[in-house]
Amino acid sequence: MHKLRFVLLLLAMAVVAPLALLVGAGPASAADGSGEDRVVRVGTEGTYPPFTFEDPDTGDLTGYDVDVVKAVAQEAGWRLEFATSPFDAIFGSLDSGRIDVVANQITINPEREARYRFSEPYTYSRGVIVTAADDDSITTLADLKGKTTAQSETSNWSQVAKDAGAKVENVEQFSQAATLLAQGRVDAIVNDNIAVLDYLETSGSDEVKIAGYAGDDVGEQALTFRKDAPQLQREADQALETLRADGTLARLSEKYFGTDVSSEASTEIDLQGDRSATTWEVLRSTAGPMLWGAVKGTIPLTVISFVIGLALALVVALGRLSSSRLANVPARVFVSIIRGTPLLAQLFIVYFGLGQIGLKLDPYVAATVAFSLNVAGYAAEIIRGAILSVPRGQFEAATSIGMDRRLTMRRVVLPQAARIAVPPLGNTLLSLIKDTSLAAVVLVPELFRAAVSAASTSFEYLPLYLLAAFYYWVICFLVSLAQEPLERRLGRYVS
């Protein structure tokens, strides 16, 4: 009896503590107010060198765009907070109010101008076509008709490739596109000359080349704001005008590119890259951050989500078994929705979707909510099946000695059902450990996000992702070892 009360107390604490976090979730911003030292939240990719990336030695966010927005903030009196995310999620964060400005080499085009505000341009670039080194069949946009290109789905260059008649495969980073091109899985890439030359310099790759220009137009990149932030846009324009006049933009351009890309007069660069790190050096420098990502992100997220999910699953399972339609129907609908929709969609709904209606959850809290609900949907059916597996005679025996239904369920049925449910619930836990890697797309600093960040700057995809897989395997293996003695203990009275 005391043991049962202790377990129920732990479950209650595990449910109440995260819910307390939910009440205070959602950072406030005074980005469009008046006064000095206002907090302005900046969204950036963090995996797009040389524009925005994490320094492999210090782990600090750096890059041309990062330095530009810092210089703007100093002139405008802003206090910056940075939030990194995959490029395809940046505009969703801006729309939902999680960030106030995007600093990520966003090219101005009519579609974006219809929805967002742009500052004055601070970078000018020219589109180029990239092909495999031994391919001379594609040199102009006209040659792309019927070919396959690799692009970021929301980038301006993706639309350029589509307009040229190419089939577009979506990727998150240019380095991933270059890898697909080198492997022969796509025919070409359309991107700006600065990003391409930087990739060629930093990677040392001789497998791809610039084959021609993607038209004569010069692209303009600028800071991006929501339509409801005119004051921020005006302040950014004033700051950029000052930075251009005093030579700050030119100095930052020379620092990263060796030429002044802040001027339309020049779209050529001469990068001087450092020696690329070896595979072993990359693995050695990344192993620690990945392990720390597992300790502070993957494991706590798994434990909290699983405990909350189990508590919810028990409630849903009892609802499914109830003869009351008020309990049974909602439980059935919940299980159907959770099991019939992808976990990634559920995660995006909780993080991005709820943000658009004013419920802006912290990334960690949003991931916990999504994973807990997902666990509840699957574990509820496991628990229901385990309860139904308990012989009917156990109910009758309990009734014969005067136990009511609630006491029978608590003292007789659930302890026996727990023994039956442990193996399939163990599989659910193992799946959850691996599914936490999806939290990387909503900015949770966990194991897989550390691997993606390192791969985007070092281009060592295979070794880094193998290392990430090894970490996940170790965690799952240790959980499997702990599951076996639990099964033996629960089955110790079964002949």
- Confidence band of 302 (pLDDT split at 50, 70, 90): very high
Does residue 310 share a domain with residue 232?
Answer: no
d(CA 416, CA 409): 10
Does residue 246 share a domain with residue 210?
Answer: no
Does residue 412 share a domain with residue 353?
Answer: yes
d(CA 262, CA 265): 9
Q: For the residues 285-313, what does the mean pLDDT come to? A: 93
- Going by C-alpha positions, the residue among 237, 240, 263, 266 that lies closest to residue 250 is 263
Does residue 456 share a domain with residue 345?
Answer: yes
Q: Is residue 413 part of a domain?
A: yes
At residue 102, what are phi and psi to the nearest 5 degrees? -105, 125
Q: For the residues 44-63, what does the mean pLDDT come to? A: 83
Structure tokens given for 375: 């666990």
- With 70 as the cut, is the pLDDT of residue 276 above it? no
**Res 121: pLDDT:** 93
Q: Which of 23-37, 148-162, 314-328, 434-448 has the lowest mean pLDDT?
A: 23-37
- Going by C-alpha positions, the residue among 130, 102, 62 that lies closest to residue 453 is 62
Query: Which CATH number is 328's domain given?
Result: 1.10.3720.10
- Confidence band of 154 (pLDDT split at 50, 70, 90): low
Q: For the residues 142-159, what does the mean pLDDT come to? A: 86
Residue 14: exposure state from Cβ atoms within 10 A (0-12, 13-18, ≥19): middle
Does residue 142 share a domain with residue 110?
Answer: no
Q: For the residues 395-408, what does the mean pLDDT come to? A: 75
Does residue 233 share a domain with residue 213?
Answer: no
- Confidence band of 119 (pLDDT split at 50, 70, 90): very high
Pairing of strands 189-192, 123-132: antiparallel
Does residue 466 share a domain with residue 326?
Answer: yes
Structural domain ending residue among the three candidates 166, 188, 218: 218
Q: Would you give the DSSP letter of residue 219?
A: E
- With 60 as the cut, is the pLDDT of residue 203 above it? yes
Q: Is residue 13 part of a domain?
A: no
Residue 459: exposure state from Cβ atoms within 10 A (0-12, 13-18, ≥19): buried
Query: Which CATH number is 143's domain given?
Result: 3.40.190.10
Does residue 374 share a domain with residue 251?
Answer: no
Helix (H) or strand (E) holding 16: helix 2-23
Q: How many distinct structural domains can be found in the chain?
A: 3
Structural domain ending residue among the three candidates 167, 192, 218: 218
- Report whether 229 contacts 100 (CB < 8 A): yes
Enclosing domain of residue 437: 280-490
d(CA 470, CA 486): 25
- Confidence band of 186 (pLDDT split at 50, 70, 90): very high
**Averaged confidence pLDDT in the chain:** 83
Sign of the Cα torsion 462, 466, 467, 469 reads positive
Does residue 337 share a domain with residue 453?
Answer: yes
Q: Which residue has the tokens 């610039």?
A: 210
Structure tokens given for 67: 């330095």
